[in-house]
Amino acid sequence: MCNSELMKIDFKALKDEVTSLDFDLTDTFFSALEGSQLEHGALHVSVSIRKMAGFFELQFHTVGHVTVSCDRCLDDMEQPISTDNRLIVRLGDTYSEDDDTVTIDESEGILDVSWFIYEFIMLAIPIKHVHAPGKCNSAMTQKLDELSGAVRSGEEEAEAIDPRWQALEKLKVKSEE
């Protein structure tokens, strides 16, 4: 789905106490969003809207996967996404956002939830994303091991005791005896 019009909810037109909406997000959704850091994915989003006294409660349930680059080998990998999020929408004089509460202009009464869904997806992606053991690009992993081996040998040299402190180590050993 890339049609942003379908993701605009007219809150003034909602008649039922509970309304359910479903969205299937594909690559076209991510390419249609300006500023999107994701390009590929396949997700299903279920939105449940409860009309309450003075506000609307939106419950988002998102499952699927997005494609991100592996932090270790830089190859693309599928990152599973499963998240539940909540958003409160109020009708008011002007548009504003505070934590998980959004106030929209009462005269318009429409909110495009596409960017909120995108943010929920981005928050569900772990900070560190790597392939399962043995699934990384072997050429890149080998090069990484070679380079980290050189760094490791430098660290071992740095861990050697500075000769200026060796005399203090001898005193410390004597006091423990």
Instruction: List CB contacts of 5: < 8 A, sequence separation 6 or more.
Output: none
What local confidence, expressed as pLDDT, does residue 48 receive? 95
CA 42 to chain centroid, in Å, comes to 15
Tell me how far apart the alpha carbons of residues 174 and 35 are, in angstroms, rounded to a whole number: 64
What local confidence, expressed as pLDDT, does residue 159 receive? 58
Tell me how far apart the alpha carbons of residues 173 and 139 are, in angstroms, rounded to a whole number: 47
Smallest CA-to-CA distance from 60 within 89, 20, 15, 97 is with 20
What local confidence, expressed as pLDDT, does residue 100 receive? 80
DSSP string, 51-71: E-SS-EEEEEEEEEEEEEE-T
What's the pLDDT tens digit per position in 111-159?
899 999 999 999 999 999 888 888 888 888 888 888 876 555 555 555 5
Are the C-beta atoms of residues 102 and 90 closer than 8 Å to each other?
Answer: yes
Are the C-beta atoms of residues 41 and 64 closer than 8 Å to each other?
Answer: yes
The residue ranges of the chain whose pLDDT is under 50 are 1-2
**Predicted model pTM:** 0.75
DSSP string, 19-53: EEEEEEE-HHHHHHSTT-S---EEEEEEEEEEE-S
CB atoms within 10 A of CB 112: 14
What local confidence, expressed as pLDDT, does residue 1 receive? 41
Structure tokens at 100: 């998980």
Burial class (CB in 10 A: 0-12, 13-18, 19+), 104: buried
Residue 26 has phi, psi (to 5 degrees) of -130, -170
| Sign of the Cα pseudo-torsion (60, 39, 97, 15, in order) | negative
